[in-house]
Chains A and B, each alone.
Chain A
Amino acid sequence: MRKLPLRNARPLDYRSTVTDRPPTSTDVQHVPTCRRRVPGEQGVWVLLLGDLLVFALFFITFIVERSKAPDDFDIARRTLHTGIGLTNTFVLLTSSLMIVIAVGAVRTRMLLIAGHAVLAAMACGVVFVGLKCYEYGSMLSAGYGAGANEFYLYYYILTGIHLFHVCLGLAVLVALWTQTRRPELSPTRMAVFESGTCFWHLVDMLWIVLFPLLYLVS
């Protein structure tokens, strides 16, 4: 467990000060156990929050366009492979859990386990990409290309940009895995490691909204 600083703690040479006894539980006051801190590098949060805002605009644009032709959008929505979308949601959620385990393992210096957890998360990411490519191929062969109607145009743009994020995230995970090969991570490297994990969680978070918006909202 992480040691926390003590507020009002006596100086180390307390034996030579006022009282000639060691400090007791009444002498020190513990700070709250949940000391607040920014996960990862602060600058990365500008990127992450900016990305969230950009995607919010994408989501809003889609729902506005949907309101112009709700019947066409709903008919097109029913042609999507909902099972693949659902599976991909489970896959990304599981990859996020693997990354949480990796962060915990790095903090407790179980770097071998951390490496394995990152590899498991990468495997999940690869499964996501594979399923997405299969879905694209299946839809294109059925004649549902980006030009079929407005829904499909937005579908390919939104999921394509997200897929780009997944590929970028996989590259980040490779970088994280190389960090777990080190004997120890400095505080700076740990902050960079946490920043990378936050980006992967962002990828998961964006899909959490995309899946219901595209596949479920009728």
Chain B
Amino acid sequence: MAGPSVLSLIRNRAVVSWLILLVATASSFAVGVEHGTGSLVALVVLAIAAIKMRLVGLDFMELRDAPIPLRAAFEVYCIALWATLSGIYLWL
């Protein structure tokens, strides 16, 4: 039976997540810098940041397979951070 190969290290979900993170970063840069100002732009940029945080947590930190309370705490953190920052941005 063949042992683990070097290729097996890069054929996993984390590499796909890394590619998504790069594209999301470039997208938020394009939206934030190239498309000027506005509330919607800010909310989208912050939402992309929250989604990127979640991806790093789930696929890099391996929280996807963590016990439910730990994973739930992290997911709630991501959503609450986005909601709080967006709420303050809109209403203050």
A212–B49 CB distance below 8 A: yes
Interface of A, secondary structure class, is helix
B14–A100 CB distance below 8 A: yes
B46–A212 CB distance below 8 A: yes
Instruction: Report the contact-size class of chain B (Cβ under 8 Å from the partner).
Output: 35 or more
**Chain A window 46-76, contacts with chain B (Cβ cutoff 8 Å), 1 for yes, 0 for no:** 0001001100100110011011000000100
- 8 Å CB contact of B61 from A53, A201, A217, A218: A201
In the complex, what distance in Å separates the CA atom of A89 from the CA atom of B38? Answer: 23
Closest to A113 in B: B6
**Chain A window 180-218, contacts with chain B (Cβ cutoff 8 Å), 1 for yes, 0 for no:** 000000000000001001100110110011011101111
In the complex, what distance in Å separates the CA atom of A64 from the CA atom of B89? Answer: 8
Known A208-B52, A209-B81; judge A94-B32 contact (CB<8 A).
no
CB distance from A165 to the nearest CB of B (A): 14
**Chain B window 7-44, contacts with chain A (Cβ cutoff 8 Å), 1 for yes, 0 for no:** 01110101100100110011011011100111001100
Known A36-B66, A110-B4, A201-B61; judge A209-B53 contact (CB<8 A).
yes
In the complex, what distance in Å separates the CA atom of A216 from the CA atom of B43? Answer: 11
- CB contacts (< 8 Å) of B25 on chain A: these are 86, 89-90, 93, 211
**Chain B window 54-88, contacts with chain A (Cβ cutoff 8 Å), 1 for yes, 0 for no:** 00110111111111101001100100010011001
- 8 Å CB contact of B9 from A96, A101, A217: A101
A56–B33 CB distance below 8 A: no
- CB contacts (< 8 Å) of B85 on chain A: these are 59-60, 63, 213
- 8 Å CB contact of A218 from B10, B32, B53: B32
Closest to A99 in B: B60
- CB contacts (< 8 Å) of B3 on chain A: these are 108
- CB contacts (< 8 Å) of A59 on chain B: these are 81, 85
Residues of A within 8 A of B (CB): 34-39, 45, 49, 52-53, 56, 59-60, 63-64, 66-67, 74, 82, 86, 89-90, 93-94, 96-97, 99-101, 104-105, 108, 110, 113, 194, 197-198, 201-202, 204-205, 208-209, 211-213, 215-218
10 further interface pairs, Cβ-Cβ under 8 Å (given A59-B85, A67-B92): A34-B64, A35-B65, A36-B65, A60-B88, A100-B12, A100-B14, A104-B9, A108-B3, A212-B49, A213-B46
Jot down 11 A-B pairs with beta carbons below 8 A, ordered by A: A36-B68, A56-B81, A82-B33, A97-B14, A99-B60, A104-B12, A113-B6, A205-B57, A208-B52, A209-B53, A212-B28
